Amino acid sequence: AAISFQPENSKRISDKLVGIFFEDINYAADGGLYAELVQNRGFEYALSDRKNSDSTWNSSKSWSIEGFGASFSIDTTEPVHINNKHFAVLKVEKTGSGLANEGFDGIPVKTGEKYNFSVFAKSVGDNKGRLLVQLIDENKNVIAQSKTGTINGKWKKYETVLEANAASEKAKIVVIPQTTGEVALDMISLFPQNTFKGRKNGLRADLAQTIADIHPKFVRFPGGCVAHGDGLANMYRWSRTVGPLEARVPQRNIWNYHQTAGLGYFEYFQFCEDINAEPVPVLAAGVPCQNSSTCGHGQQGGIPMCDMDEYIQEVLDLIEWANGDKNTKWGKVRADAGHPEPFHLKYIGIGNEDLITDIFEERFTMIFNAVKEKHPEITVIGTVGPFYMGTDYEEGWELATKLEVPMVDEHYYQPPGWFIHNQDFYDRYDRSKSKVYLGEYAAHLPGRPNNIETALSEALYMTSLERNGDVVEMTSYAPLLAKEGNTQWTPDLIYFNNNEVKPTVGYYVQKLFGQNAGETYIPGTIQLSDKRENISKRVAMSVVQDAESKDIIIKLVNLLPAEVNAGIDLSALNIAGSEAVLSVLEGSPDDKMAAPKVGSLQVSDQFNYQLPAYSFSVIRLKTI
Ligand code: AHR
């Protein structure tokens, strides 16, 4: 193949092309990115959290008695907070017994690490002792322990630190009153001190770092379907997820489990700031999932018109919460949570893959117009969903065009062949219409995990996204996270369990694009000697220049079973030196374990590079 470049036709492209889609699906939040180690800490799990009948899924889920001299019951009289009605009453007849929690598939403990324990407690009757807190490993050894202060007859938060003298992959935590009698307990919590950036109520350091390593330019949250829920009562309401943990409103997660809201809007925004990514919250367009059709828990239309003003105010309040001065009502809530400076929110998504019915259109229009009028500085992202939703996709585009919505969110999950054959998808887009946020996409082999074939077809397609970076503003692979043994959706980008993070081959493609982004697109041509379409569509290239380093980055994808010998002509580019950084991801099509290898490459004005069979190569060049 002969490769040359035409820098005279360079164009500006989006500086936010690669971001991430975070949805609380597959235990991505509780039991996942959110570092809380106690499951059902607020005793709020309920039978109604799950669509399948599971009688163990109740306020006692994950809790048990350790020892032989105690019992516990669940009470709701005079709770810590009205939003967290349930709490445990532990009755101790013989000291030494206590209330144990098994965590999310066990509590992972590391030797020498410190853990922050907290609990709301009050004595019932005369019991005024302290609480001994222990971490116990699989062999019943105590591997960490500490005591709280003396509890009294009023709800109060107690905190203590445990330091582990041994490791365990599956420990449990036990709270052991030091006197007999009854004690009420709620919001029993254990966090590693080693959270991402050491944040309180923070995120799991290894997982958060794996995400940060993509260098995402934005984070979309909290979904997906989680954003609009499967009924009005299940809609994600941002204002219920900020403030003190005990005052947040936990709820049923649409993916069939429980959502504590401990990872709420404050934590999402904080994470964005910590990784230098734009927050992209997505709020329901006043309608739940598939607004007027059957979805999960029943049939419901949108928010009644008489309540829409209130809902629109909630959307506007989010902007005040994120960006308002600390003297404003909502700015003060943010400041009180420890962030007096604004979060500089720039984007808001309204709607997620909704059916474009009159119910939707009416509500979306009201919200869009209100935000546009009050906050013209905010870019509203509308929704058109997947093109295979047929008329909804077309009607979504019609509505966006009519309202002049600045950007719309498209979704598609397709087989690798679709990505190979549709690299011109955005070449054909009308540049005068809304910009595109490709908010959810992935190459799917039905029922099978990511492999080199899916990853390379995504890489191939991403070269076309860079080429169309003047109309495609943002993109995010979906879904991002999945906890092994707890997945509702396959494939996902990053798998994990309590002790390990397992990025997929698709993750490395996202990371190579994220870490090698640029704001200028430099057109180039690849001339293959074999001109047949099924051959030429399997080799692709994109070239960008990074504004800060001025590096020029050439991305080359070869999805052919043979290597391609390329003669690369760099003479039109102002390359400095003769050494480039070369990253290569390669493997056989069904390889699921491949990871990129990084090395150096000798370059000159004219040089040869062999694109390995089934590979993605990134050549990073210094410029004069
Ligand atoms: O990414 C998983 C789901 O796919 C999202 O929740 C939804 O928006 C889409 O249908």
DSSP symbols for 30-71: BTTTB---STTTTS---GGG-SS--TT-STTTTEEEESSSEE
pTM as predicted: 0.97
Topology given in CATH for the domain delimited by 47-192: Jelly Rolls (2.60.120)
The CATH 3.20.20.80 domain(s) of the chain lie at: 20-33+215-490
Complex ipTM > 0.95: yes
> Ligand 1: which residues within 6 Å by Cβ?
23, 25, 223-225, 352-353, 411, 440, 478-479, 489
Cα-Cα-Cα-Cα dihedral sign, residues 370, 375, 376, 377: negative
User: Is the CB of residue 102 less than 8 Å from the CB of residue 64?
Assistant: yes
Between 53-62, 169-178, 290-299, the lowest mean confidence (pLDDT) is in 290-299
Half-sphere exposure for 614 (CA within 13 Å, toward CB): 16
Q: Is position 395 annotated as part of the catalytic site?
A: no
Q: According to the model, what pLDDT value does residue 489 have?
A: 95
Q: How far lies 37's CA from each of 57, 140, 450, 599, in Å?
A: 18, 18, 29, 39
Q: According to the model, what pLDDT value does residue 389 have?
A: 83
Q: What is the pLDDT of residues 448-484, one digit of tens each?
A: 899 999 999 999 999 999 999 999 999 999 999 999 9
Closest residue by Cα to atom 8, ligand 1, is 224
Q: According to the model, what pLDDT value does residue 300 have?
A: 58
Topology given in CATH for the domain delimited by 20-33+215-490: TIM Barrel (3.20.20)
Strand partners, 516: none
Q: Helix, strand, coil % (nearest 5) of the chain?
A: 20, 35, 45
CA dist 491 and 479 (Å) reads 8
Closest residue by Cα to atom 3, ligand 1, is 224
The CATH 2.60.120.260 domain(s) of the chain lie at: 47-192
Q: What is the pLDDT of residues 542-562, one digit of tens each?
A: 999 999 999 999 999 999 999
- The answer on pLDDT for 295 being more than 90 is no
**Quick one: which atom of ligand 1 is closest to the CA of 478?**
1
Ligand 1 centroid distance, CA of 102 (Å): 30
User: Is the CB of residue 372 less than 8 Å from the CB of residue 304?
Assistant: no
Q: According to the model, what pLDDT value does residue 446 have?
A: 82
Closest residue by Cα to atom 6, ligand 1, is 224
- The answer on pLDDT for 292 being more than 50 is no
CA dist 76 and 70 (Å) reads 20
- The answer on pLDDT for 293 being more than 60 is no
Q: According to the model, what pLDDT value does residue 263 have?
A: 98
- The answer on pLDDT for 298 being more than 70 is no
CA dist 320 and 364 (Å) reads 20
**Quick one: which atom of ligand 1 is closest to the CA of 225?**
6
Chain-centre distance for alpha carbon 369: 28
Q: Where are the alpha helices (DSSP H) in 385-517?
A: 391-403, 416-421, 452-467, 505-515
User: Is the CB of residue 191 less than 8 Å from the CB of residue 116?
Assistant: yes
**Quick one: which atom of ligand 1 is closest to the CA of 413?**
4
Q: According to the model, what pLDDT value does residue 597 have?
A: 98
Q: What is the pLDDT of residues 97-149, one digit of tens each?
A: 999 999 999 999 999 999 999 999 999 987 679 999 999 999 999 999 999 99
Q: According to the model, what pLDDT value does residue 562 have?
A: 96
CA dist 131 and 601 (Å) reads 62
Pocket test for ligand 1, best of 21, 225, 352, 437 (most atoms within 8 A of CB): 225
Confidence of residue 301 (pLDDT cuts 50, 70, 90): confident
Q: According to the model, what pLDDT value does residue 360 have?
A: 94
Mean pLDDT over 164-170 rounds to 98
Between residues 126 and 428, the one the model is more confident about: 428
Q: According to the model, what pLDDT value does residue 289 have?
A: 85
Q: According to the model, what pLDDT value does residue 52 have?
A: 80
User: Is the CB of residue 483 less than 8 Å from the CB of residue 497?
Assistant: yes
Ligand 1 centroid distance, CA of 544 (Å): 30
**Quick one: which atom of ligand 1 is closest to the CA of 23?**
6
322, containing H or E segment: helix 305-323
Structure tokens at 129: 């002792």
Confidence of residue 291 (pLDDT cuts 50, 70, 90): low
Q: Which of 102, 320, 353, 466 is catalytic?
A: 353
Q: What is the mean pLDDT of the chain?
A: 96
Q: What is the pLDDT of residues 22-31, one digit of tens each?
A: 999 999 999 9
Pocket test for ligand 1, best of 234, 293, 352 (most atoms within 8 A of CB): 352
Ligand 1 centroid distance, CA of 226 (Å): 8
Structure tokens at 275: 């990784």
Mean pLDDT over 373-389 rounds to 95
Structure tokens at 464: 């076309």
Q: According to the model, what pLDDT value does residue 53 have?
A: 77
Residue count of the chain, please give it. Answer: 624
What are the φ/ψ torsions at residue 119 (nearest 5 degrees)? -155, 145
